Amino acid sequence: MDSVEIEALLTEISSFQASSAAEVEEFRVRFLGKKGVLRELFAKLKEADASSKRELGLLINKVKESAEQKITALSNYGADEDSLFEDLDPTLPGSTHHLGTRHPISIVKNRMCEIFERIGFKISEGPEIETDWYNFSALNIPEDHPARDMQDTFFLQTDPDILLRTHTSPQQIRVMESTEPPIRIICPGRVYRNETISARAHCIFHQIEGLYIDENVSFADLKHTLFHFTKEMFGEETKTRFRPSYFPFTEPSAEMDISCLICKGKGCSVCKNSGWVEILGCGMVDPTVLENCKIDSKKYAGFAFGLGVERPAMLTYRINDIRLFFENDIRFLKQFQSA
């Protein structure tokens, strides 16, 4: 045995490559096994000349170390790679990832919320299953009041006090009950009404209701907020008009129309030849509602508005049947893109 022989072993170890775990094991047995190269080398070392023993001993230790390091390195990487690539066929075409898109209702709802958030409204969401108090009574719609018929309601069969909310106004009551004014919120969410399903109406739809309560809030503030929203949402050239209306929870009450986005006010089937499309109800919060929520109606006043999401979405995307929003047909949904 001489140092040249041992140096050759070192070169063999450093250049060794394995392509399977079995080859690594073979290598281990060859060098470190019971009848392996190293055993043999140490045995020979005993018989070596006293003059070269020290130098050879150091070299053999180096062989041992590098064999051990090599095995560790190969079993860390080599083995895993084996199992990872065992079934890999690099000639197969890559798999594509189908990215989902946001639902058109979510896109429009988010845009609407962002416009109000930019002018200081905070989002507040509440339950879809409500009690009679929050959906009706607190909003100044007592039992047997004809206004209850304006919103055909789904009640729980076993407990008529529990219902599916017909608007998101109940969330405004919840916030008024628990917050000191000033209050400036929007309540987006899904609502339910027992209506016959058609191209223009559905029993499920979405609303965004807004509420602003502070000292000295006036109808002018309401109008300015809604003008700003309309221009941002539908474009500078969109016209608005207010019509007097009735809601039990606001006084005075109004409905707001915008000039038809499809025919630009000339008259078409969407606006029933009127040139106008109704998009929301609004008004000054009735003092009774404030008092129901323990808010001093002499000190504070407020405005509220409620707008649907489906109609603006239909106008924005030129969709002529509301049912498309709820059918989840992938061919319809994948046409919408959003950030």
Q: Which of 304, 309, 313, 315 binds ligand PHE (CB under 6 A)?
A: 304
The residues near 302 (Cβ < 8 Å, ≥ 6 apart) are 181, 183, 211, 212, 213, 214, 217, 284, 285, 290
**Subset of 155-194 contacting ligand PHE (CB under 6 A):** 167, 169
d(CA 45, CA 55): 10
* Closer to ligand PHE by Cβ: residue 281 or 312: 281
Q: Which of 282, 309, 313, 322 binds ligand PHE (CB under 6 A)?
A: 282
> How would you classify residue 164: left for phi > 0, otherwise alpha for psi between -120 and 50, otherwise beta?
beta
Q: Which of 27, 116, 234, 247 binds ligand PHE (CB under 6 A)?
A: 247
- State the nearest-atom distance from the C-beta of 284 to ligand PHE, in Å: 9
> How would you classify residue 92: left for phi > 0, otherwise alpha for psi between -120 and 50, otherwise beta?
beta
* Closer to ligand PHE by Cβ: residue 104 or 283: 283
Q: Tell whether residue 312 is a contact of ligand PHE (CB under 6 A).
A: no
DSSP letter, residue 185:
E
DSSP letter, residue 244:
E
Residue with the CB atom nearest ligand PHE in the bound state: 306
d(CA 331, CA 157): 37
Q: Tell whether residue 140 is a contact of ligand PHE (CB under 6 A).
A: no
* Closer to ligand PHE by Cβ: residue 28 or 228: 228
d(CA 99, CA 338): 12
- State the nearest-atom distance from the C-beta of 150 to ligand PHE, in Å: 7
Residue 332 corresponds to which tokens in the numbers above? 């319809």
* Closer to ligand PHE by Cβ: residue 189 or 306: 306
Give the CA dihedral 259, 264, 267, 268, nearest 10 degrees.
Answer: -110
Q: Tell whether residue 104 is a contact of ligand PHE (CB under 6 A).
A: no
Q: Tell whether residue 305 is a contact of ligand PHE (CB under 6 A).
A: yes
Residue 61 corresponds to which tokens in the numbers above? 């230790």
Q: Tell whether residue 130 is a contact of ligand PHE (CB under 6 A).
A: no
* Closer to ligand PHE by Cβ: residue 55 or 125: 125
Distances 284 to 164, 172, 287 between C-alpha atoms, Å: 25, 14, 9
Q: Tell whether residue 311 is a contact of ligand PHE (CB under 6 A).
A: no
Residue 25 corresponds to which tokens in the numbers above? 């094991």
Q: Tell whether residue 250 is a contact of ligand PHE (CB under 6 A).
A: yes
- State the nearest-atom distance from the C-beta of 268 to ligand PHE, in Å: 25
Candidates 1-9, 58-66, 90-98, 276-284: pick the segment binding ligand PHE (CB under 6 A). 276-284
Q: Which residues bind ligand PHE (CB under 6 A)?
A: 167, 169, 209, 247, 250, 281-283, 304-306
